[in-house]
Amino acid sequence: MSSILPGAMLGLLGGGQLGRMFTMAAQSMGYRVTVLDPAEGSPAGSIAERHLCADYHDASALHELSTTCAGVTTEFENVPADVLRFLEQHCVVSPPARSVSIAQNRLLEKQFLAANGFSVAPFLAIQNKDDLSTAIDALFFPGILKVSQFGYDGKGQVRIHTPHELSDAFTYLQQQPCVLEQLLPLACEISVIVARGFDDEISLFPVAENQHMHGILDMSIVPARISAGIVQQARKMATDVAIQLDYRGVLCIEFFVLTDGRLFINEIAPRPHNSGHYTLDACITSQFEQQARVLCRLPQGSTALHTPVVMVNLLGDLWQSGEPDWNKVLNNPNAKLHLYGKHEARPGRKMGHFTVLADTVEQALQQAEAIKVSLKNR
């Protein structure tokens, strides 16, 4: 199939900040974008050429996407897989419905990874109350109970210290199908953004070291401060996951690096990822431009890193006393500010991010930490 060239209309399912950054990247390349998202004034919908404010199953909206868009992509993993299957009959779709249907369900994802020989934390399906009555191996305690679908940023999960806490945790999670995972001794968490094209071309972005607060990504440090051996292993595992999943698009693989040096896959996200936002400023090609390139069947761009970089999330907590003083970021010539155009700031809500680029990781980290402190202490 031939490439989709600039001037064409591209479709986007989802209107959040990842979609906003994809829309900006696509527009800068000369494409137009139609966003399908049920929320009015969404970050992506507010800047796209067309915003279809409708449910993802809305027949009229899907008809417009399928007849006016040369290709359709997604910005979050919980897009209904049947919608992607419908669109695949009419236009190019990236990522494929089958890949998304696996990656959007934590249990299916872990079963897929384990069946294909990838290292994951020991896990157990807790689908209903009957699963609570069976004897559960002591190795799962302490553990963490996670809902199989729709969990993100630390939501939909509860830490379990003893078997007696499991029933209460399952009730707290409204008895949704869950996965119980063994807690592992972590040295750090890392992630790899990988892109795979329809021609099987694969590109990998530099490995990011990720620090979380309250289950939400706080900071990504690139290059990750890990051994060359772990970097090589993570890149190889990310490549193999994309191939085994028959993935076409941009994919994030999140890893646990254990204290004994072993590498386990935590989860996969079938889309660009928060930990890849550094690519907007620090790489020749961003993850969002790469998403557009794969969708349009273009050659992939270079993922080379210009300089070391630190990315820091800006959460709604910073707005509790009004608009933050952005001079704290903008006065640093090495910092780049990105705000997502969200109208309501709430604690824990991702409102934007900033990056700091420097000659060394240590310099970038020192400056990023200083900006963080100054924003909080205004």
For residue 230, the model assigns a pLDDT of 98
Residue 152: per-residue pLDDT: 64
pLDDT of 264 > 90? The answer is: yes
- Distance spanning both ends of the chain, measured CA to CA: 55
Residue with tokens 């696509």: 26
Q: 25-66 pLDDT, tens per residue?
A: 999 999 999 999 999 999 999 999 999 999 999 999 999 999
Q: pLDDT (tens digit, 9 = 90+) per residue, 220-242?
A: 999 999 999 999 999 999 999 99
**What pLDDT does 153 receive?**
59
Q: Give Cα separations from 81 to 101, 214, 254, 311 (angstroms).
A: 6, 30, 22, 31
Distance of CA 99 to the CA centre of its chain: 15
Distance CA 372, CA 361 (A): 16
Which one-letter DSSP state was computed for residue 59?
A: H
Contact status, residue 188 vs residue 257, Cβ threshold 8 Å: yes
Q: Are strands 178-182 and 186-196 parallel, antiparallel or unpaired?
A: unpaired
287 by Cβ neighbours in 10 Å (0-12 / 13-18 / 19+) ranks as buried
Structure confidence by residue, pLDDT tens digits, 170-195: 989 988 999 999 999 999 999 999 99
pLDDT at residue 1 in the model: 72
Contacts of 264 (CB under 8 A, 6+ apart): 119, 120, 121, 184, 255, 256, 258
- Give pTM, 2 decimals: 0.95
pLDDT above 70 coverage of the chain, percent: 98
* Pairwise CA distance, residues 324 & 127, whole Å: 44
Residue 167 phi/psi, 5-degree rounding, is -65, -45
Q: Rounded distance, CA 335 to CA 368, Å? A: 8
b/e map 319-328, b = 16+ CB within 10 Å: beeeebeeeb
* Cα–Cα distance for residue pair 303/287, rounded to 1 Å: 8
- Distance (Å, whole) CA 212 – CA 189: 9
- Report the distance separating Cα 333 and Cα 344, nearest Å: 28
